[in-house]
Structure 1
Amino acid sequence: MPELMTPEQIAARTSRAVAAATAAGRDLGLEVTEPTVLYDLFSVVVHLAPSPVVVRVPTVLMPGSDPEIQAARQRRELDVVRWLVEQGAPVVPPSPLVPLEPVRRDGFSMTFWQLVDKTAEPDFVRGARMTADLHATLREYPGELPFLSSDEPDAVRAGLTALEGRPDLMDPADLDRAQREWAVLAPLVGSRERFEAEFPGVDLQPLHGDAPAYNVIVTADGPLHGDFELTALGPVEWDLASFGPECADAYDEAAQRRGLRRLDQRALRFIEAVGMSRTLMCLALVPQLPSLADLLKPSVEHWRELPFAGGVTG
């Protein structure tokens, strides 16, 4: 694993992403005179001003990340969001000014979205209620989706493997436990059949896939769901993990109103254990994004206090 990137290297990566987004936008016929970075963490999000178009350029990728897997995820995201727009769901729509497909430019794979103006931070409890409405709509999505992101077990395993020999990033005792936990959890994440056998009665459906109550953009016209990069087939608990009991109660209330089932507490504990493993693997991204070390520290400390594999199995 490489050493930590310097601020100068990170700034250069951001500049390359902005240049790639700008060139791709111009090639697609957009007027771009003042590209502006709106967000820069795992992705660089660029407003191609004065065009009402925002480009999301993933820049921080897991070790061994496959460009084809990334592009496939982006195609699924665009298709799901296109369909949700057609249903009248509150989502950030893809830009109608460019073709509905990811664009690869200068080593980056990017997607183009309609500009919306953020007016406030999301309310997680309100977002949990919105998630129930989103799930009710997504149940009718006609496309095929992988079960809980079919590459997830390999991605977590690769991240934990990359941490071997890096005590500066993860304590060896923590890494040993994390790898043993993932050996228990991964088979149920990677196999729909094994998950259904372990959790009978927990039905599966299309999901947002990546903390929808967090990935809400509040606009003057109301809140909109965004960032469907990890959309997948799975239990609804996947979208509610780690938001706490208040959000779970808000979801259950809204779900019952829409004729959906309440959250299964055992499945929720399992999904939260999976979420902790996914969080721990992000330590492998610290060389690409050094600020992650401090951001992840509270989660690692919390994980040390939890029962093995969430106390659900193993």
Structure 2
Amino acid sequence: MTDSASVPPQQRARRSAAVDAAVGAGRALGLTVTDARVLHDLFSVVVHLAPAPVVARVPTVLPRSTDPAVQSSRQRTELDVAQWLADRGTPVLPPSPLVPREPVRRDGFSMTFWQYVEEDRDREPDYAANAESTAGLHAAMRDYPGPLSFLSAAEPEFVEDSLALLDESPGLLTPADVDRARREWRVLAPLVRSRAAFEEAFPGVGLQPVHGDSPPANIFAGVDGDRYADFELVTYGPVEWDLAALGPELEAAYDRGARRHGIRPLNPDVLRFVNAVGMLRAVATLTLAPQLPVLEDYLRPAVDHWRTLPFAGGLPG
């Protein structure tokens, strides 16, 4: 958790409001909450509603294009996918069994509730091992029967809205950067928005349910072992989406896991495509910096790297 003394006033106020909403919602659901504690605060405020063994995750940094009904629907899908995986023995952070498995809206926030699992804070993440493990998650997710939209994790509405705002965003981008980003999106957007267009561009590449938000970076180190977490962007698409922008070492680790689990290895052409889309999502995320100023520092290396890459991942413009 970030030291509150170093947190900007806007973020402190947002955190306080999110904690109050989570505590109020938890008590309204019948939980005893006397010692709420913030576990994490970046795009979401994650609150342990102690002494109840329940964690509330409260998204707080959101694009202006966020639709409350769409947000609630995606949170409901996340809860369903996590519970489905847990029921089949996949190690995940599961929804809390102590409250209904539904998002709750309170005080302008939409939140979800999860089982509290103690974190092993002394263990450093092994991203290569996590990437190899991701193939096992993909093998487990292949049979998920619920409806999922094609590449919704790319958040095309957010990207388009953000690209329209980039002229107003201070900081890292030059006018040439903004022009390139918009031209790249014109090439990439049709393949993001249409499964048929994607399959025409990449014939024979299998699609399936995928995590949606870089699972090698979203594996929770519990004291009882690693667990997959944060299925907020769960989607239907190529497995390459979950390895976007992670580099050759982690791609090779994933392929080792794929061989072990009997699923296909990563396709280099699709990787170039998802890497290009992922870079544009990073550029688009700069428009959230007024809400979360530290984003500029986080995104600076990504923007610098994007400038060195082939236009639109090498796809014909």
Q: CA deviation at 1:251?
A: 1.1
2:3 corresponding residue in structure 1: none
SS in 1 for 2:83: helix
> Which segments of 5 or more consecutive residues in structure 2 lack a partner in the other structure?
1-6
SS in 2 for 1:131: helix
1:99 equivalenced with 2:96 (yes/no)? no
Amino acid at match of 2:247: G
Q: Which moved more, 1:100-109 or 1:127-136?
A: 127-136
Q: CA deviation at 1:169?
A: 5.4
1:190 equivalenced with 2:193 (yes/no)? yes
Of 222, 225, 240, which residue of structure 1 is paired with 2:225? 222
The 8 Å contact of residues 289 and 295 in structure 2, kept in 1 or not, is answered as: yes
1:15 corresponding residue in structure 2: 16
Distance in 2, Cα, partners of 1:169 & 1:75? 35
1:148 corresponding residue in structure 2: 151
The 8 Å contact of residues 23 and 49 in structure 2, kept in 1 or not, is answered as: yes
Q: Which moved more, 1:178-187 or 1:247-256?
A: 247-256
2:296 corresponding residue in structure 1: 293
> Which segments of 5 or more consecutive residues in structure 1 lack a partner in the other structure?
1-5
- Identity of counterpart residues, as a percentage? 60
1:245 corresponding residue in structure 2: 248
Q: Deviations over 1:176-230 (max 9, x none)?
A: 1111101111110010000000000111000000000100011222100000000
**CA RMSD after TM alignment:** 1.3
1:179 corresponding residue in structure 2: 182
Amino acid at match of 2:104: V
Distance in 2, Cα, partners of 1:295 & 1:27? 37
Per the normalisation by structure 1, the TM-score is 0.96
Amino acid at match of 2:296: A
Summarize the alignment of residues 230-309 of structure 1 with structure 2, pairs less than 5 Å apart: 230-309=233-312
Distance in 1, Cα, partners of 2:154 & 2:219? 25
Distance in 2, Cα, partners of 1:193 & 1:16? 43
SS in 2 for 1:250: helix
Summarize the alignment of residues 58-137 of structure 1 with structure 2, pairs less than 5 Å apart: 58-119=59-120, 120-137=123-140
The 8 Å contact of residues 169 and 286 in structure 1, kept in 2 or not, is answered as: no
Q: Deviations over 1:68-99 (max 9, x none)?
A: 11111101100101100111001001101000
Distance in 1, Cα, partners of 2:272 & 2:172? 26
1:3 corresponding residue in structure 2: none
Per the normalisation by structure 2, the TM-score is 0.95
Amino acid at match of 1:222: G
Amino acid at match of 1:81: A
Q: CA deviation at 1:265?
A: 0.4
The 8 Å contact of residues 170 and 283 in structure 1, kept in 2 or not, is answered as: no
Amino acid at match of 1:133: G
Summarize the alignment of residues 28-39 of structure 1 with structure 2, pairs less than 5 Å apart: 28-39=29-40
Distance in 2, Cα, partners of 1:150 & 1:265? 20
Distance in 1, Cα, partners of 2:152 & 2:23? 30
